[in-house]
Amino acid sequence: MEYVTDARYSWPAVCQERFDAAPTQILHEWNTVAHASEYEGNPGRRPLTYDEVQSLLDAADARVEEIRARRRKGAAAAMRDATLLKTVYAFGLRRREAWGLDVVDLRRNPRAADYGAYGALFVRFGKSSRGGQPKRRTVLTVPEMDWIVPVLQQWVSEARPLLSPGSHPALWVTERRGRLSWRGINEAFEQARNDAGLPEALDLHSLRHSYVTHLVEFGYPEKFVQDQVGHSYASTTAIYTGVSDEFRNRLVQQSLQRRHASLWESQQ
């Protein structure tokens, strides 16, 4: 607006002549809210620590065993929820991305033949830009998360058929042979979070934050992490990242070792 209303460019005069009205600047520093920081979201939403992730997934698995021990119905659905949460974390998915997964979206990666049909996920319902169509991307299975391979294999070949999905394509199906809803996905996380005794401020999206943070701590380049999670800008990925003090101290220690080594070599 500062450009449009600048008299040096004649836009006000041209608009007045053509439309009988001229643009006027109505928002100024004195009548607008100042953003004091780059990120002003809910401070309770944060990456989970490694121990918290383990506690969450253990709680989801424990629910499966509890239902089985009581010989109640719902063990297959509980296993679905546990596998779903593990998949969201292992591939850094958004809720909608996890919801839209079909069995055919499980892909092979020729560079990781050992993973078989679980070397990658083809995400078809990524976040769209400016009202456009959902973005698509392929998320590779990284070696640090290869534990997800047997988990998904067991779900697809053994547990999912127990829900009698028939020809339904969804990876996450319900007892009524439908696609698991967004609400159902949220409830799966909340159940595991409460069972694990984790803070209520943590939500499903916190697992995506955890994925980004942990990939950075594993040493993956920023561009790789950005492509894995489907961010258009590196600055967005940076907001998701919350590395631990241990990781930062390790970087400082490595820097000190390199510095001392170079000093020692220069004195020889």
3-state DSSP call for residue 122? strand
Q: Are 247 and 217 in contact (CB under 8 A)?
A: yes
Sketch out the chain's domains with CATH numbers.
1-34 (no CATH), 50-206 (1.10.443.10)
Task: Please give the pLDDT value at position 29.
Answer: 73
Q: How many CB atoms lie within 10 A of CB 150?
A: 10
Please choose, from the candidates 72, 254, 99, the residue with its C-alpha nearest in 3D space to the C-alpha of residue 183. Answer: 99
3-state DSSP call for residue 102? strand
Single-letter amino acid, residue 247: F
| DSSP secondary structure of 125-193 | EEPPSTT-PPEEEEEEPPGGGTTHHHHHHHIIIIIGGGG--TT--BSSB-TTSSBPPHHHHHHHHHHHH
Task: Please give the pLDDT value at position 28.
Answer: 76
Give Cβ neighbours of residue 25 (< 8 Å, ≥ 6 apart). 1, 2, 5
Looking at residue 34, the DSSP 8-state letter turns out to be -
Low pLDDT (below 50) residues in the chain: none
Tokens of 250: 């390790």
Q: Are 198 and 56 in contact (CB under 8 A)?
A: yes
Give the angle subtended at the CA of 221 by the CAs of 219 and 222, to the nearest 5°.
120
Over the range 47-73, which residues count as b (16 or more CB within 10 Å of their CB) and which as e? bbeeebbebbbebbbebbeebeeeeee
